[in-house]
Amino acid sequence: MTRKNVKRMTLRIDRQGNPCLSVPLRATRADIWKFMMSCSDWLARNVGKREFFTLPDRLHDGDEVFLLGEPRKLMIRSAARTSMTFVSGAAVLYLRDAGDPEKAASAYEKALKELALSVFQERLSRYADVIPERFGTPRIKIRKMTSRWGSANQTTNEIHLSLFLIKAPLDCIDSVVLHEAVHFTHMDHGTEFYEMLLDRMPDYKQRSTKLKEYARK
Ligand SMILES: [Zn+2]
């Protein structure tokens, strides 16, 4: 716990998975206790988890979010419909109840899923040539996967990608998208699989290593 010159208490999980509480200079023990009690469910779910694989449970105007390899300032504004747009270094989230931190967090998750889907689809279209024609364009589904980045299924013609991948830079996203696209030709991770993958992306291994570094955040 650290006392800071801040207006409100915030609780976050650091890169090692430890809870860190920031409290205003004048907060009393009772204030802190009350705040901690209100966070107990969130704490139980998030302690020990790496920050990269979590999304905030509450969001306030001005909070920082991590997107496409960059920290961005989040601006929360009122609008009839949930959406998210980008302006230099910032993300603007629109939702009906802009003042409700929990609703803002769920609107952010919804907007993030839409963003992830459109980014991943666009990146996949760049590697369409590695997918045999009979598959056309496989459908992308976004899941909150934490143990793997993606999976490919020739039978259902689907690629499942982790929502958290949208936090990584584009070159890392591409390495996962291409990896799954190559599975439509080679289902296992044999020599032919890697030959095809490295032929299309010679620095695949460097990108995978970089992605692992990001995921430690
Ligand atoms: Zn694979």
Beta carbons of 69 and 184 less than 8 angstroms apart: no
The residue type of 82 is T
Q: How far apart are CA 121 and CA 59, in angstroms?
A: 27
Q: What is the pLDDT of residue 9?
A: 92
Q: Where in the chain is the domain with CATH 3.30.2010.10?
A: 119-215
Ligand 1 center from residue 154 Cα (angstroms): 12
Q: What is the pLDDT of residue 49?
A: 63
- What topology is assigned to 119-215 in CATH? Zincin-like (3.30.2010)
Listed in order, strand segments (DSSP E) in the chain are: 2-4, 10-13, 19-24, 64-67, 70-78, 83-87, 90-95, 139-143, 150-153, 158-162
Q: What is the pLDDT of residue 203?
A: 98
Beta carbons of 56 and 105 less than 8 angstroms apart: yes
DSSP letter, residue 138: P
The residue type of 171 is D
Ligand 1 center from residue 139 Cα (angstroms): 17
pTM for the model: 0.77
Reported as a single tens digit per residue, the pLDDT across 4-29 is 998 899 988 776 667 889 999 999 99
Ligand 1 center from residue 189 Cα (angstroms): 6
Reported as a single tens digit per residue, the pLDDT across 122-166 is 999 999 999 999 999 999 999 998 889 999 999 999 999 999 999
Ligand 1 center from residue 212 Cα (angstroms): 15
